[in-house]
């Protein structure tokens, strides 16, 4: 079985260079080392290497809801990026609870080398815990505070909400409703505020009764949609703030036998696996979840190699994926 000495000899580099490559550090001879590893079918002993380097070769990904496919895509992108460097991922769910999040950080801090965290809320306790633990950390999708010193990877939530509002008002809708997640998180707050502001720019005012704020869950999407349908004059279009709430909203519309989009248009933030297979196919604001995870992985590798470099914030673009769930509002009889 090939060892690190064989790889170094075949690549024409030092053993130290191969070790740096396996630890995720940047080297000039990457192609030669990777070619030697492949040709020799070299499989590093990650546990032994971790002991020598004082590392666990493990990154913890803590997400608010492990059942949400969006977070699963982030973790997959993360894993694809760091696995070639010999790092593995462990995943834990905070269940959208900041106290649980802090407990997980404290429990895992002695067993991992870095964290990729989707914060439950903008919690001071989480920020303090991370600063005390002092491990490389990348925040994805949500932030703790704008002045945070951590690496951040998010999408342009404001642009997505504006795209949604402009599309629906452009179709002629004046009775718009919005179902939003908690305002204690960046996505919930920005999408809510920007959708309402963009609608106002088109001279469409959204009444308080049409502004629903709750949790990023299927249950809340269902309950909020039921409330909107019970209004004496219900909305002609609904913008839903994430994929899980959209599942609940669609369930409520189906139970009420509301024809989409003939009677009511619907557009949501986040694509989901069955959106194209629905009848009608569902229009969404799409964002690159896998790419978010990949960039988070790149930042982790970079920070493990160069821990003192300045924090970086990446804002990724979103797009409007039009299918068939939105149309002009129904005409009065």
Look at residue 333 in the predicted model and tell me its pLDDT: 45
**Packing angle of the helix pair 157-170, 186-201 (nearest 10 deg):** 30
Across 43-47, 99-103, 163-167, 210-214, least confident range: 43-47
Per-residue pLDDT for 50 more than 80?
Answer: no
**Nearest alpha-carbon partner for 59 in 103, 107, 114, 106:** 114
Give the whole-number percent of the chain exceeding pLDDT 90: 70
> pTM of the entire structure?
0.81
pLDDT tens digit sequence for 85-129: 889 999 999 999 999 999 999 999 989 999 999 999 998 899 999
What is the C-alpha separation between 304 and 331, in angstroms, rounded?
A: 60
Residue 86 CA to residue 273 CA, distance in Å, equals 30
Find the mean pLDDT for residues 237-258. 96
């Amino acid at each position: 079985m090939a060892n690190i000495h064989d790889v170094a000899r075949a690549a024409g580099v030092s053993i130290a260079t191969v070790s740096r490559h396996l630890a995720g550090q940047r080297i000039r001879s990457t192609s030669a080392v990777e070619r030697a590893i492949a040709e020799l079918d070299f499989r590093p002993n990650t546990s032994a290497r971790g002991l020598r380097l004082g590392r666990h070769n493990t990154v913890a990904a803590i997400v608010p809801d492990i059942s949400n496919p969006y977070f699963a895509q982030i973790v997959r992108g993360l894993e694809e990026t760091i696995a070639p460097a010999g790092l593995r991922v462990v995943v834990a769910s905070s269940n959208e609870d900041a106290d649980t999040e802090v407990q997980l950080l404290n429990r895992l801090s002695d067993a991992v080398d870095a964290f990729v965290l989707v914060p439950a809320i903008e919690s001071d306790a989480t920020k303090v815990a991370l600063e005390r633990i002092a491990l490389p950390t990348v925040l994805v999708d949500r932030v703790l505070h704008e002045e945070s010193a951590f690496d951040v990877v998010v999408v342009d939530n404001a642009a997505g909400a504006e795209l949604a509002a402009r599309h629906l008002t452009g179709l002629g809708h004046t009775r718009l409703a919005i179902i939003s997640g908690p305002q204690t998180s960046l996505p919930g707050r920005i999408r809510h505020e920007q959708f309402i502001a963009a609608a106002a720019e088109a001279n469409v005012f959204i009444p308080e009764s049409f502004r629903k704020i709750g949790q990023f869950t299927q249950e809340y999407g269902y309950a909020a949609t039921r409330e909107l349908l019970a209004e004496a004059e219900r909305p002609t279009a609904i913008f839903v703030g994430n994929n899980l709430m959209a599942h609940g909203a669609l369930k409520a519309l189906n139970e009420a036998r509301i024809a989409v989009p003939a009677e009511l248009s619907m557009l949501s933030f986040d694509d989901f696996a069955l959106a194209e297979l629905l009848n009608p196919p569902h229009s969404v604001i799409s964002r690159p979840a896998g790419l978010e995870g990949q960039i988070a992985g790149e930042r982790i590798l970079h920070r493990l190699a160069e821990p003192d470099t300045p924090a970086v914030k990446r804002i990724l673009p979103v797009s409007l994926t039009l299918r068939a769930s939105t149309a002009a509002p129904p005409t009065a009889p």
